[in-house]
Structure 1
Amino acid sequence: MRTSTRTLFVKGLPLDHPRVWTQQREADIAPYVRDIAPELRWLVEADGWSLLGFQYVEGSHADFTPGSSDLPAISAAMAQLAELPAPDIKLKEMAHRLRGYVDDPADLKWFEGDSLLHTEWNPHNVLITKAGALFVDWGWASTGAAWIDPALWLLWLIAHGHTAEQAENVAAAHPAWKRAPRAGLDALARAQQCLWDSIAEQSPDKWAQPMQAAARVWNMYRQHQH
């Protein structure tokens, strides 16, 4: 949206949309992530719509393919995210989000933590600018162990051409990866395969199939590490 003084990116959902709650979630998160996300200027609800107005940022969607020059900038911004204090707002917890995708409820303990997580690492949610990487679409922000974000990102790396070993090597640049317990990574790999199998089965189109395949590749790789 262009005005006489500025250009904004406007994101909206109808107020009766089942995920309209993500609009408020993004507004709540915005003050905490100013350094790694476009600035939120306003949230308006009017005429049956919920609208978010963000600072317009010149940039391009991230390239997740092997050898991409975008990967270091993404890793750096993700590490910056891990250093942010936990926001003083109610967020979903990863252990709760994944409770339906584990065979053993004891596995959920690995996902617990108070770090702020983005969790939705679609390349369209990462903008590459001259100043570095910025993250958008915070509707599924959650709290949990800090190593979960790079672990979820590596699934997208696999879906874009990395081997599981290559993807883990990229994820290993994240400071929290060094603290990731092997059993926790194994549990997350199993849960992600179950999650993406479910999404792919329920999806009316084929958008989820590459992620389903990536989750299976990573889970198999983790199984062979023992």
Structure 2
Amino acid sequence: MVADCYRREALINQALSAQIPAPRLRWLEEHDGWVVLGIDAVDGGRLPATPWRADELTATLDAYTLTAEALSTPPASLQHVGLKPVGDDGDFADWRNLARGATPTEVLPAWMPLDLLQALASLESGWREAVAGHAVLHHDLRQDNVLIDASGAAWICDWNWPCLGASWFDLVLLLATAHADGHDATSLFTQHPTARGVTDEQLDAALAALSGFFLTAGGQPPADWSPHIRQHQTWCGEVTLRWLADRRGWSF
């Protein structure tokens, strides 16, 4: 239920430490199954520009640096909300399922080169080990979950899905969108404090896992609860896969 998501967001928001740049919950009201959250307004708050501007992308990466430092280990305030390891509710096995025929390739976009399935399945098989960790992840760090304030600083919003894993995993989808907008995502990733010691294979395993998940999900029948979700999922799958292809020297 959507109401349960808002209740969970309220619980998590209240447990975030003060140094995390996130708007704060002020009140919660419930009536006849409806849940309303009152959250601080961000002064001059607006979504980052599309395509990504370099200064706003830098501000977002800086905000995540503060967030990752504060959440490098689960603070006591968050330990009681029942955080699970990333992937605890299921495996990213979509490329492997496609490669062995358990999922029909018809779910994929027409532009997808099927001769890459085995390579993608092999990379994907290492995702769980690659992203394992004990840090708290936002787990939905996207352009539309960020607000830029009047001074140009970034705020991270919508804390519905935190889990445990390696801090750098939060950067993968965010920087895939930056790659799509012409930024050097790999350099931005390797320069970020959370990515110290992360190998090429670890990043590529994460990109493979996310691209398979999103492209397969995007090929499912339309969802009446969100009429544009399949289009969005397919786009997320494409930007992650194209970043991976650029890193691997694949062309399609």
8 Å contact kept, 2:125–2:205 = no
> After TM superposition, what 4+ stretches of structure 1 lie above 6 angstroms from structure 2?
none
The answer for the alignment partner of 2:195 in structure 1 is 177
* CA displacement 1:194-225 (0-9 Å, x = unmatched): 11112211262423332221122022234339
Q: Map 1:1-226; keep pairs closer than 5 Å.
A: 17=1, 19-30=2-13, 31-34=15-18, 35-58=20-43, 59-63=45-49, 65=51, 67-85=53-71, 86=74, 87-88=78-79, 89-96=81-88, 99-101=91-93, 103=96, 107-131=127-151, 132-159=153-180, 161-162=181-182, 166-202=184-220, 204=222, 205=228, 206-224=231-249
Structure 1 unaligned spans of 5+: 1-16
The answer for the alignment partner of 1:6 in structure 2 is none
Q: Percent sequence identity over matched residues?
A: 26
Higher strand share: 1
Shift of 1:97: 5.1
Q: Which amino acid aligns with 2:164?
A: T
Is the partner of 1:36 in helix, strand or coil? coil
CA distance in 1, matches of 2:4, 2:199: 33
8 Å contact kept, 2:3–2:33 = no
CA distance in 2, matches of 1:46, 1:186: 46
Is the partner of 1:22 in helix, strand or coil? helix
Shift of 1:67: 4.4
* CA displacement 1:25-77 (0-9 Å, x = unmatched): 21222131543111101222221112211012221111363543211211111
Shift of 1:109: 1.7
- TM-score w.r.t. the length of structure 1 is 0.80
CA distance in 1, matches of 2:208, 2:135: 22
Coordinate RMSD, CA, aligned:
2.4
CA distance in 1, matches of 2:221, 2:172: 23
8 Å contact kept, 1:64–1:156 = no
- TM-score w.r.t. the length of structure 2 is 0.72
8 Å contact kept, 2:138–2:162 = yes
CA distance in 2, matches of 1:20, 1:101: 30
Number of residue pairs aligned between Structure 1 and Structure 2: 205
8 Å contact kept, 1:126–1:135 = yes
Structure scoring higher RCO (CA < 8 A, sep ≥ 6) equals: 2
Shift of 1:178: 1.9
CA distance in 1, matches of 2:7, 2:125: 31
Structure 2 unaligned spans of 5+: 97-123, 223-227
